Amino acid sequence: EAGVAQSPRYKIIEKRQSVAFWCNPISGHATLYWYQQILGQGPKLLIQFQNNGVVDDSQLPKDRFSAERLKGVDSTLKIQPAKLEDSAVYLCASSSFTGVVYGYTFGSGTRLTVV
């Protein structure tokens, strides 16, 4: 089974620029998550999709962050404009069950540095 694919692996941008991250979940996984992991901290959920609908985006800074999941498969997360405090690893994860928890499968993440 192929894992969760993310790109790019690394990105360096200047503050106020925009950036986009891409995620391809495990085939057949209906639920997709974007987490933000700041250095030295645990991952924090930004947004959760069930197929192509949003289940939870309560911690997504909607003034600058947006995400979409077209056709219930791939997803993109965008930041516009970026701030210094957005420097973090952005992790995508997917899972196959909604009612029974077996944990997620995470991708390797995109490491964003805002200078």
Partner 1 sequence: QKEVEQDPGPLSVPEGAIVSLNCTYSNSAFQYFMWYRQYSRKGPELLMYTYSSGNKEDGRFTAQVDKSSKYISLFIRDSQPSDSATYLCAMRIIQGAQKLVFGQGTRLTINP
What is the total count of residues that contact partner 1 (CB under 8 A)?
26
Residue of 13, 20, 31, 61 interacting with partner 1 (CB under 8 A): 31
- In this structure, are strands 5-7 and 10-13 parallel, antiparallel, or unpaired? unpaired
Establish if 93 lies at the interface with partner 1 (CB under 8 A).
yes
Output phi, psi for 70, to 5 deg. Answer: -80, 140
DSSP, collapsed to helix, strand or coil, labels residue 72 as helix
DSSP state of 51: T
104 binding partner 1? (CB under 8 A): yes
**91 is a site residue for partner 1 (CB under 8 A):** yes
The footprint of partner 1 on residues 39-78 (CB under 8 A) is 40-45, 48, 55-56
**22 touches partner 1 by CB under 8 A:** no
Q: How far is CA 25 from the centre of its chain?
A: 11
The enclosing H or E element of 75 equals strand 75-79
Nearest distance from C-beta of residue 45 to partner 1, angstroms: 5
Between CA 63 and CA 66 the distance in angstroms is 8
By CB under 8 A, residue 106 contacts partner 1: yes
Which stretches of the chain bind partner 1, using CB under 8 A? 4, 31, 33, 40-45, 48, 55-56, 91, 93, 95, 98, 101-109, 111
